[in-house]
Amino acid sequence: SSDAVWVGTEAGLYRLSSGTVEPVAAVTAAIRDLAVDAAGTGWLATAAGLVSWDGAQAGTFDSAAGKLADDDVRAVFGLESGVLAGTAAGAALVGTRSDRVLTAGVGSLPYDDVTSVWAEGDLLAFGHGIGATVVQADFQHVDHYHSLRWIPDERVTAVALEPDGTRWLATP
């Protein structure tokens, strides 16, 4: 119902509706972050992979299936269809028309320990242990922010993008 509140906790997913809290039996992993895509699918970041939740059933995505760089998912951002997920070993686009895994290397991310993610238009933003990176989805243009020249701390804990291209970065 429209009054439902979905709550991700260390004990899994819960649904609060009409004053009643009920655990979702299908999702018992500790939830680190959550997002909803434009289709209404919930995406849950866990230490054991990525979980999708459509309100009735859960789907699991992991590195063994080639969907993630590794299963230690730290951050998620809901897209038009699917999710942008950040993991300890990179990032991934999952549930999209162009699913792909991104790891550190030439033509990709500068560092693989991704702590936060955001998407706006054709831009993807990643916070990580050596700064933040904003790229066009095709990686033809990359902006990397690191060191005291750009930010007060190398570790970026949150990123956000505005439609006009303004970038927001959080550091400890």
Residue 149 binned pLDDT confidence (cut-offs 50, 70, 90): confident
Specify the DSSP class assigned to residue 31: P
Torsion angle, alpha carbons of 138, 119, 162, 153, to 10: -90
126, burial (CB in 10 Å: exposed 0-12, middle 13-18, buried 19+):
buried
Query: Is pLDDT above 60 for 141?
Result: yes
Which residue matches tokens 């831009």? 123
- Average pLDDT for 155-163: 97
Q: How far apart are alpha carbons 95 and 37 in whole angstroms?
A: 10
Please tell me the pTM assigned to this model: 0.93
SS3 26: coil
Over residues 25-65, the pLDDT tens digits come to 899 999 999 999 999 999 999 999 999 999 899 999 999 99
Of the two residues 106 and 159, the one the predictor is more confident about is 159
Query: Is pLDDT above 60 for 1?
Result: no
Q: Cα Rg for the chain, rounded, in angstroms?
A: 16
Contact criterion met (CB below 8 Å) for 66 and 88: no
SS3 148: helix
